[in-house]
Structure 1
């Protein structure tokens, strides 16, 4: 397949900056066919092949601005491979002809897009909608084009010569925010508009009998046909039904209103739909459903039937599905494929997703009518004992267990175990035991459902064999476990509080039973059914619980010999289990072995219950280093991902915050500010091991309770109870797959599914002494399932505020062929850190290949304002260290390196299906948080900027590049100097300045200056420049605290207490009238007798300033001092039309700036022998990124690669010599 051409050059002059990639909100999408999708990103139109799952063409269709609408007219032909396309935005519209041409492979088609004369046209007003018009309803070739404008008027142009043929204006003259045409011909054309008065007007556009001007220059005044009153906010979009009798409007008031246009001219809405939690942007009316999108990033599906408008029916539109898959805010665009089986959404995060509509009623949401209820037959139908002396009370269901295949086993009040099959409604009495009367806890084996285990009020465990009853006469009976007589074992003297049964992963005939007894050790029993003649039930272990721990879930990692238990207190308890014999079954007396916790990890989910655990079954034989990847879900609505490893040997080095509790040496309280913890523990045999706990990832999935985690088909399904519904959330693709009205959380429930599509899913729960079940209907094929939900990966959902390129060329990742690429880190208002691969585009590299998101991680609780890469390590160049900072004073350190095969991060992802889809945490790259700075309690303070540097030292016996100094500026006028050794996972505060700055410190820049050794005892001077909101640049000497640390280390045990205060500024420069937003400093390349620095800054006053600063030293008998003075200054008062937000230096005297006016300007400092004389503008480029707030530059493959970000990201490049 040929690579699509790169994006067209951005209009510019001067230096040649060429756009190679654009990640921006998807403002319009449209299906050409079921196989091809058009997507508008900024001024560009992309053609995506859904069959090949790739973007096959990209073209610039507008000069400036964004494409707000795409209107397509198919051209008749046998191949159905030609379309006329109009892309409009603002006051411009582009007319193009699109044809699928045969590529090099005869089975593959490549689109060709050519302009239709006159091509790009400028119209007199803002375009609200556009419509192709035909001569008659049966004509297949369009001849005219109608435009609806913002002043409630319409113009029609002839396509052949682009001459106006008709103009119409509504008699209600007002501004409109939206418009929608209906009709194929000029005579039948009508338009619905949303006015500034929150009303919708419908009026005819067709030829009038009076006042008609055939030249189209004089508008015809048309009367309003319908006035629709009811919205309480601006109407953003309108949609007609296929027959034109129903109009749907969406509004700022967060509602969708449906109007019946056969009603009187002034009417109220027939139906109002509530559900979105923010402004609704668009909707689509299908024959039987309505799809809507909104600012809350949700795509909702509602039932729709014209009969619902009748007054004699109670059938109202109801919600069918609530899909969430976009980040940040706003889903901007919506399209439905021609077969009406798939919906496509384009988000403000730049992502495009597909959603299945074909089986939406059966799979997306159910109502009470789909639930099946089991009711007990009369007691005489199954009783085997005389209950005449019992209290005159009817029998009822106490508890139940789900067996699979629509079957359950129910424990009744009188002590009966009944088998029930929902397929045929037949009962079978399995067992009667008075021990179970009045109380019974029950569970069944999950793999085959042929064994049920009960716990009684007297502490007895009962195992019962369940025969396989055929559902009908044609069904075959297959039994994995041979039938056996009931087995009983008393393990406690008090009631069994809970029973859980787990099938051994190596042999389904070997069951592990966990019985919980209040205030007693957990009873771990093993049921061995490998011998048909002599099954054995043995009490193997007693699991001693930590204080105040009530277990809720278990997971047995057999190949690691580790048992995990979650508790109601939010704790995760790990046990080291000695190897037990699985030889021939024996009924000999077996004394249980007491096991004490290997690790007691408290408050993993705060004070909320840890309800479920999942450990991926990846091959890892028992070795010296036992590793586990653990997913946990809790009632705080969060899924957390941990890496646990247990390494033999003593702890090599432990910092104070890694010490275990003095009361319990195995106890460790989870602290989100310390992502990596390690402590010394002891195994069951008494051997010391080092336990390492790494909090890799966490994500809030719901506001409700997470009660289950299921991994199937490489996807993670999350069971949630929220707002009286049971919801299955796809944690891999981030949307709700199933929602069942069940009344809320339940004491006993089961969810089972055979695949990720939920085609054979079952949800069974106990409600009011009845077992209620929902079974997904059997479907032999999944023709309507969207196998690849992500068409275009997402970037950031909110404004990006910081960018930084990695300091060295990125190591080639698995499956990649581009070696000359860089790693770009980005962060913004959404608190998300993203890592992307960026490289220069070439003739053989598609533009989409020049940028690829590798990983996105969210650990910051608020906005991410600053990030910086540390210089590369000499001993470990493959690992990059990244520092991020922002709101709540959060300062974090990350280790970034290529992922180890078989150890992916994030939620499970199907490798075959999602190699380029979610990119939440890529399998190619590992981004692990290694240290977090301890912060104060004032969450209103932000870190505004930071710089990271290393210092060579003779005192550092280790790699000096692994000692990172971080200078951070704060919104409370504070400057702090931190030191971090990532391998020790701890920050320490060296020095701070709380006196000399009086305003918020916005920017910072660092420079190391080598001083003449003849006049100074110091080898170098470390200078930090800061810029604040008062417009003053200050120079601070960091040499003293750095030298103190290199010689003495951190002397205080509290890492948040500074060793010393920072000295008074060496220099102050009033550079701007207001805030100094950006600041850069560099050493001149010229050989000068006095060391000099160049200082460039950009501010809120639109000014660009440059200063030449000389560094001088003086020595006395006691000490050496450093002083700075400004040698020369030059300013450009109006460098931009708005505040400068980004500044980068390329070369010695070349500067790039970006401002809110979306201009990227290139400047050159003209120098003389002594001082800069003036700054010249050498080039200006209009960026396609709205609200740019960050700029980053790197040299890659002899090309300058420039990245600017705001609402989206644009990557540009130019020659190194430019």
Structure 2
């Protein structure tokens, strides 16, 4: 059994995989009186049957390593030990001996490398860069050994290993050249091993100017999530954390930002903050979802932000079927089902309602609770009867002040279904029951000849006096390369439980048949009436919606091949005469940041003279430069 003492607590571990925490003062008293010391908290079998090999402490967090190939981050909470995160080593590296902290880690969660054995090799593994820093053929872990990192602490892979093999004391020979921090800056840090399938902006931290960092999360085909800090002014990119809990590719992301315990749905124009607290949900292949709490803090004027990852919940459809009591009476969930798109229906304080588009033809509604630490399937509908590709939500307020929540789902047949989810979102039961969910959509819009890959929704302003009606603009892009826009009228009629009854009517439609020369894969609203689209044809286009239809405002050839996703946001102008700037991130086989200058409000389709109002926009390329940390 091993033990360490920190901050009045004694952490110990044993070969059965248990981690035990006790109070140091009580241990001293027990040693004097001969009494048995009782632990404050215990986690049994946290590293499986192979045992725990290492326990250490850093800034109030505990780190344990075991022979299950994982490093677990723990904390002592009100109810005892809690597992915050599981950090895995490379595939096949099961025998972990310890973690070695890097000196540059300045956040709450330490930056570290993993030391262990992969078959007959001693390996130093960097979980952030996802690479081996050192590999020494020593014969395996059943021997005495000691590892000493380089004395300057700049490169964990430049250390020396001393070990015994067949009775002989051997030492690995470190590299002849001393590691240089200046030399490492010339290397480019990889974001993903394969293509990037989705990107999501979390917010901004730091001070204005050079200290401002935009925080993004990307999901890739290499099954990993990467938390990035980007300086838009210089294009510098730093990797804050890498999450490797998915077993298949990550296709979609969504985030709910919380301030002072309350949800913040976000606005287009956001100011810098010293810290961010975000609930991140990722989904993708093998019908798998993951939920994390990300705590991101700034470190001064020019310091790199720090990121602490807390795993909240995990879910797979086939695992849920295995836990059902009468599962023999139901059809087993297809393990190859993929989650294609995700949207937030309601972001309450107790739980968050999520809608997901699924490849098996279902639209599913889940609830995730941070307190209970689990996902719960509430409702599913197979209305589309084919693969559902995209999903989006939008909420309105009727004349009585009641919130109306609409869900938009689109499938491979080119049709978009509109669901009224108001009774579910406004339910006092948390989580709501499936009986409150609709049985069929309230409107179906034919939009494309084939699959609908992406949706964007916003509200059209009708002005004062229109309390009994509203208008929603629905934009979509499909496999046919077409960009379509539909104007939907919403009329509130009579009284009903939870508010007024609604009647949806398709009022008008516009489309651009050849908006792109390839399938339109991503579409985002930069401002009301101003859209950004991209496609594997490597063009990024700006579109202006006027009363007469759609018009292209600009186009740019992107360096990113196989473009799969977009993220956009607006940065308020600084100084007199400076207009708002828009930022566009394109992901695919790489990542690129684009700047949109002089962004005006595109929501007013006509100026005071009755003519068309112009939106002065221009696209500028800005490459993202990766920096090693």
Q: TM-score, normalised by structure 1?
A: 0.42
User: Which residue pairs with 1:859 in the alignment?
Assistant: 245
User: Which residue pairs with 1:85 in the alignment?
Assistant: none
Partners of 2:261 and 2:117 in 1: how far apart? 50
Q: Does 1:633 align with 2:19?
A: no
Q: Does 1:898 align with 2:287?
A: no
User: Which residue pairs with 2:474 in the alignment?
Assistant: 1095
Partners of 2:169 and 2:567 in 1: how far apart? 56
User: Which residue pairs with 2:322 in the alignment?
Assistant: none
8 A contact 1:881–1:895 mirrored in 2: yes
After superposition, residues 726-875 of structure 1 pair within 5 angstroms as 726-729=122-125, 734-742=131-139, 744-746=140-142, 748-753=143-148, 755=150, 756=156, 761-765=161-165, 767=166, 771-776=167-172, 783-787=177-181, 789=184, 791-806=187-202, 810-812=204-206, 818=210, 821-838=213-230, 840-841=232-233, 847-849=234-236, 851-870=237-256, 872-873=258-259, 875=261
Partners of 1:819 and 1:900 in 2: how far apart? 9
User: In the superposition, relative to structure 1, how do residues 614 and 1065 fare at CA in structure 2: closer, same or farther (>3 Å)?
Assistant: same
8 A contact 1:1050–1:1059 mirrored in 2: no
Partners of 1:731 and 1:896 in 2: how far apart? 17
Q: Quick check: which has more Rg, 1 or 2?
A: 1
Q: Aligned match of 1:945 in 305, 326, 341?
A: 341
User: Which residue pairs with 2:325 in the alignment?
Assistant: none
Partners of 1:1136 and 1:707 in 2: how far apart? 50
8 A contact 1:577–1:595 mirrored in 2: no
The alignment partner of 1:615 has SS state of: strand
How far has the Cα of 1:1049 moved from its partner? 2.9
How far has the Cα of 1:562 moved from its partner? 1.6
Partners of 1:752 and 1:706 in 2: how far apart? 15
How far has the Cα of 1:940 moved from its partner? 1.5
The alignment partner of 2:247 has SS state of: coil
User: In the superposition, relative to structure 1, how do residues 898 and 995 fare at CA in structure 2: closer, same or farther (>3 Å)?
Assistant: closer
User: Which residue pairs with 2:592 in the alignment?
Assistant: 1210
User: Which residue pairs with 1:929 in the alignment?
Assistant: 311
Partners of 1:1077 and 1:763 in 2: how far apart? 56
Q: Does 1:976 align with 2:347?
A: no
User: Which residue pairs with 2:44 in the alignment?
Assistant: 602
User: In the superposition, relative to structure 1, how do residues 1205 and 727 fare at CA in structure 2: closer, same or farther (>3 Å)?
Assistant: closer
After superposition, residues 648-727 of structure 1 pair within 5 angstroms as 690-709=79-98, 711=100, 714=103, 718-727=114-123
After superposition, residues 1103-1122 of structure 1 pair within 5 angstroms as 1103-1115=482-494, 1120-1122=500-502
User: In the superposition, relative to structure 1, how do residues 927 and 644 fare at CA in structure 2: closer, same or farther (>3 Å)?
Assistant: closer
Partners of 1:977 and 1:596 in 2: how far apart? 45
User: Which residue pairs with 2:284 in the alignment?
Assistant: 886
- Structure 1: any 5+ residue segments left out of the alignment? 1-552, 583-588, 619-626, 648-689, 842-846, 902-914, 917-921, 952-959, 1053-1057, 1168-1172
Q: Does 1:1038 align with 2:417?
A: no
User: Which residue pairs with 1:645 in the alignment?
Assistant: 76
Partners of 2:541 and 2:102 in 1: how far apart? 50
How far has the Cα of 1:707 moved from its partner? 4.7
The alignment partner of 2:83 has SS state of: strand
The alignment partner of 2:205 has SS state of: coil
Partners of 1:711 and 1:1175 in 2: how far apart? 57
8 A contact 2:350–2:430 mirrored in 1: no
Deviations 1:522-569 (A, max 9, x none): xxxxxxxxxxxxxxxxxxxxxxxxxxxxxxx5132254332321324x
Partners of 1:594 and 1:693 in 2: how far apart? 24
User: Which residue pairs with 2:512 in the alignment?
Assistant: 1132
Q: Does 1:1049 align with 2:438?
A: no
8 A contact 1:712–1:754 mirrored in 2: no
Partners of 1:758 and 1:933 in 2: how far apart? 40
8 A contact 1:898–1:924 mirrored in 2: yes
8 A contact 2:15–2:53 mirrored in 1: no
Deviations 1:412-465 (A, max 9, x none): xxxxxxxxxxxxxxxxxxxxxxxxxxxxxxxxxxxxxxxxxxxxxxxxxxxxxx
Deviations 1:730-771 (A, max 9, x none): 6676324241343x452x423243645666531124x4xxx2
How far has the Cα of 1:1160 moved from its partner? 0.9
Q: Does 1:1071 align with 2:483?
A: no
Partners of 1:1031 and 1:1062 in 2: how far apart? 22
The alignment partner of 2:469 has SS state of: coil
8 A contact 2:196–2:218 mirrored in 1: yes
The alignment partner of 1:1138 has SS state of: coil
- Structure 2: any 5+ residue segments left out of the alignment? 104-110, 151-155, 265-275, 320-333, 573-579, 601-616, 618-629
Q: Does 1:964 align with 2:352?
A: yes
Partners of 2:101 and 2:486 in 1: how far apart? 62
Deviations 1:224-277 (A, max 9, x none): xxxxxxxxxxxxxxxxxxxxxxxxxxxxxxxxxxxxxxxxxxxxxxxxxxxxxx
Query: RMSD over aligned Cα, in angstroms?
Result: 3.4
Q: Aligned match of 1:1179 in 554, 572, 580?
A: 554
8 A contact 2:204–2:213 mirrored in 1: yes
User: Which residue pairs with 2:9 in the alignment?
Assistant: 561
How far has the Cα of 1:1151 moved from its partner? 1.6
8 A contact 2:393–2:406 mirrored in 1: yes
How far has the Cα of 1:1186 moved from its partner? 0.6
Partners of 2:33 and 2:405 in 1: how far apart? 69
Q: Aligned match of 1:1188 in 558, 563, 581?
A: 563
User: Which residue pairs with 2:405 in the alignment?
Assistant: 1022
How far has the Cα of 1:595 moved from its partner? 3.3
8 A contact 1:1085–1:1148 mirrored in 2: no
Partners of 1:731 and 1:1009 in 2: how far apart? 44
User: In the superposition, relative to structure 1, how do residues 731 and 1104 fare at CA in structure 2: closer, same or farther (>3 Å)?
Assistant: closer
Partners of 1:930 and 1:824 in 2: how far apart? 19
The alignment partner of 2:12 has SS state of: strand
Partners of 1:1104 and 1:801 in 2: how far apart? 21
Partners of 1:643 and 1:1146 in 2: how far apart? 40
How far has the Cα of 1:728 moved from its partner? 4.8
User: In the superposition, relative to structure 1, how do residues 966 and 818 fare at CA in structure 2: closer, same or farther (>3 Å)?
Assistant: farther
Partners of 2:250 and 2:149 in 1: how far apart? 41
How far has the Cα of 1:772 moved from its partner? 2.6
Deviations 1:1161-1209 (A, max 9, x none): 1222220xxxxx3322222111110110001110013201011110111
User: Which residue pairs with 1:280 in the alignment?
Assistant: none
Partners of 1:924 and 1:1209 in 2: how far apart? 22
The alignment partner of 1:936 has SS state of: helix
User: In the superposition, relative to structure 1, how do residues 695 and 895 fare at CA in structure 2: closer, same or farther (>3 Å)?
Assistant: closer
Q: TM-score, normalised by structure 2?
A: 0.77
Partners of 1:710 and 1:1150 in 2: how far apart? 49
Please list every run of at least 4 consecutive aligned residues from structure 1 whose deviation after the TM superposition is greater than 6 angstroms: 1116-1119
